[in-house]
Amino acid sequence: MDGRAKPFLVCRDCFRAAELEFRISCEAAGVPYAPLAIRDALRTLHEFYGERIAAAPDDVRVRSALDDVERRLAIGAVDS
């Protein structure tokens, strides 16, 4: 390991279970766990789907997912 954080992407249906298992594994191994901020996670997803759309430009599922991520990124941050 090079000491840098590495994002892991899982499907929406698996997220809660995967996150819990990952948190427990990190804690047991003494590895810090830091969830990504929402906008950082969206940028990571944008990069992921951008690579997929380049590999399969006619895949409507990937195009739909990329469009959804871009729509969410276009929404301005909400001040609290």
Give the number of domains in the chain: 1
Is residue 1 included in any domain, yes or no? no
**pLDDT, tens digit, for every residue of 9-33?**
777 777 888 888 988 998 999 988 8
Residue 27 lies in a domain: yes
pLDDT single digits (tens) 28-79: 999 888 887 888 888 989 999 999 999 999 999 999 999 999 999 999 777 6
Does residue 41 belong to any structural domain of this protein? yes
Would the pTM of this model clear 0.75, i.e. be above it?
no
Q: What is the extent of the structural domain holding 54?
A: 12-74
pLDDT at 1: 55
Question: What torsion do the CA atoms of 17, 22, 25, 31 make, to the nearest 10 degrees?
Answer: -160
- Looking at residue 80, its pLDDT comes to 63
Residue 34 counted as domain residue: yes
